[in-house]
Structure 1
Amino acid sequence: MKGQMSWRKKEDQPENSVSFSEQKTIIKALMRLRTNRDDYHTMSREQQVNLIRLRTGHNRLNAHMNRKFKLAPSPTCACRQEDQTAEHILQRCPILDEERKEVWPSPTPLQTKLYGSRQELEKTTTFITSAGLIV
């Protein structure tokens, strides 16, 4: 072995029956970040958009469109009782009482409607759709 550098002797190297390609695949799989998807992230893109708009208040409801962009003539809801906010339409708007009772037969807190389980989040997006609202 004159002129060659040998770091290990052949006898010291273990026999490996896994090919180089398989080793690469195994290493990549081990290095890949494991993301546990919460209920929100398992929903459709459209459902996620509706929920995030309701959660943040950056939506197409009168209160935001009037105060932020002056695109709505008034922040007031069509029921003329309060400003049209996510909380108002999800909890108290008398115009949407029938749809609300179909989706939530018993009183449900706003926190549950916006941050609850997948089943609760789907009820919220169903309510928005059945009410004909564009958020």
Structure 2
Amino acid sequence: MRPRTNRDDYHTMSREQQVNLIRLRTGHNRLNDYMNRKFKLAPSPTCACGQEDQTAEHILQRRPLLDEERKEVWPSPTPLQTKLYGSRQELEKTTTFITSAGLIV
């Protein structure tokens, strides 16, 4: 097989950014929902905010404790699909948000 000559936006990102995105995309991450459901390592699937299970969608879209960081990165409402599968610029915003929020996914 010949090596890939053109790379999509995801494959041009750093390894750390790729890992964070794939973990958010697949749900195989270190958030409470997965750690409780799969490994029983978290006492509850609920987020620290207490409103719903701590999933990638909750963190990226609705977690009230991250409203300020979210508005800085995405001033206007942005769909989850765009945050996880959009252009390189959108993917970088997502990884920047995760880092600035101090989350380990």
Q: CA deviation at 1:39?
A: 0.1
Stretches (4+) displaced over 6 A: none
Q: Which residues in structure 2 correspond to 1:2-41 (within 5 Å)? A: 32-41=2-11
Residues 20-43 of structure 1, C-alpha deviation per residue, up to 9 Å, x if partnerless? xxxxxxxxxxx8434320000000
Q: Deviations over 1:59-100 (max 9, x none)?
A: 000000000000000000011000000000000000010100
- Superposition RMSD in Å: 1.0
Structure 2 unaligned residues grouped into runs of 5+: none
Q: Which has the larger radius of gyration?
A: 1
TM-score normalised per structure 2: 0.97
Structure 1: gaps of 5 or more residues: 1-30
CA distance in 2, matches of 1:115, 1:127: 15
For 1:32 and 1:66, locate their aligned partners in 2 and report how far apart those are by CA, in whole Å. Answer: 42
- Structure ranking higher on relative contact order (CA contacts 8 Å, 6+ apart): 2
Identity among equivalent pairs (%):
94
How many Å apart are 1:116 and its aligned residue? 0.1
Count of aligned pairs? 105
The answer for the alignment partner of 1:9 in structure 2 is none
